[in-house]
Amino acid sequence: MLRLFLKEHAAFIVFQVILVAFIMLLYWLDGFRNADTAIYSFVISTVLVFTFLTARFARRYQYYQRILTAPQNLEHMLQSEGKSPEQIQNEIYLQKLYRLYQHEVQSLYATQNRHLQFMNQWVHQMKTPLSVMHLLLQEEQELDKNSVREEMERLKAGLDTVLMNARLDTFEQDMQIEQINLRSLVSEVATENKRLFISKRVYPEISIAEDQVVATDHKWMKFIIGQFLTNAVKYTFEPNKKVFIAAECLNGNTLLTIRDEGIGISSTDLPRVTKAFFTGDNGRKTGESTGMGLYLAKEICGKLGHELSISSVQEKGTTVSVLFINQDFVVQEDHDDNSRNRRGNKSIRRESDTPSS
Q: What are the CB-based long-range contacts (under 8 Å, 24+) for 100-108?
A: none
Kindly state whether residue 342 falls inside one of the protein's structural domains.
no
* Under 8 Å between Cβ of 265 and 282: yes
Q: b/e string for 118-148 if b means 16 or more Cβ within 10 A? A: beeebeebeeebeeebeeeeeeeeeeeeeee
Q: What is the mean pLDDT of residues 221-226?
A: 91
pLDDT tens digits, one per residue of 38-50: 888 888 888 998 9
* Under 8 Å between Cβ of 310 and 148: no
Whether residue 37 is predicted with pLDDT greater than 60 in this model: the reply is yes
Kindly state whether residue 180 falls inside one of the protein's structural domains.
yes
Kindly state whether residue 80 falls inside one of the protein's structural domains.
no
CA neighbours within 13 Å on the CB side: how many for 274? 16
What pLDDT score does 356 carry? 38
What pLDDT score does 318 carry? 92
Q: What is the mean pLDDT of residues 151-155?
A: 83
Same domain, 180 and 319: yes
Kindly state whether residue 160 falls inside one of the protein's structural domains.
no
Question: The domain that contains 282 carries what CATH number?
Answer: 3.30.565.10
For the chain, give the mean pLDDT.
81
Q: 343 vs 205, which has greater pLDDT? A: 205
Kindly state whether residue 127 falls inside one of the protein's structural domains.
no
Residue 80 pLDDT class (50, 70, 90 cuts)? low
Secondary structure element (H or E) that encloses residue 253, with its range: strand 253-260
Same domain, 191 and 314: yes
pLDDT tens digits, one per residue of 112-131: 887 887 788 778 778 878 88
Residue 281 pLDDT class (50, 70, 90 cuts)? confident
* C-beta neighbour count of 179 within 10 angstroms: 13
User: Cα 17 to chain center, whole Å?
Assistant: 60
What pLDDT score does 335 carry? 43
Q: 15 vs 337, which has greater pLDDT? A: 15
Strand partners, 245: 206, 258
What pLDDT score does 268 carry? 87
| Domain count for the chain | 2
Kindly state whether residue 150 falls inside one of the protein's structural domains.
no
What pLDDT score does 78 carry? 57
What pLDDT score does 76 carry? 59
What pLDDT score does 357 carry? 33
Same domain, 197 and 316: yes
pLDDT tens digits, one per residue of 238-262: 888 899 999 998 888 899 999 999 8
* Under 8 Å between Cβ of 184 and 338: yes
Longest dimension (CA), the chain: 124
Distance CA 164, CA 170 (A): 10
- Pick the last residue of a domain from 18, 45, 69: 69
Kindly state whether residue 279 falls inside one of the protein's structural domains.
yes
Whether residue 200 is predicted with pLDDT greater than 60 in this model: the reply is yes
Q: Could you give the dihedral angle defined by the CA atoms of residues 136, 142, 146 and 147, in that order, rounded to the nearest 10 degrees?
A: -20
Strand partners, 249: 254
Q: What is the mean pLDDT of residues 305-326?
A: 90
* Under 8 Å between Cβ of 240 and 201: yes
What pLDDT score does 183 carry? 92
Same domain, 180 and 65: no
The predicted model scores a pTM of: 0.61
Domain region containing 23: 1-69
Alpha helices, DSSP H only, in the chain? 2-8, 10-29, 35-59, 61-67, 74-78, 85-138, 145-167, 171-174, 182-192, 194-200, 218-234, 280-286, 293-304, 336-353
Q: b/e string for 22-42 if b means 16 or more Cβ within 10 A? A: eebeeeeeeeeeeeeebeeee
What pLDDT score does 288 carry? 62
Kindly state whether residue 109 falls inside one of the protein's structural domains.
no
Same domain, 180 and 313: yes
What pLDDT score does 277 carry? 77
DSSP letter for each residue of 266-289: -TTTGGGTTSTT--HHHHHHHS--
What pLDDT score does 286 carry? 65
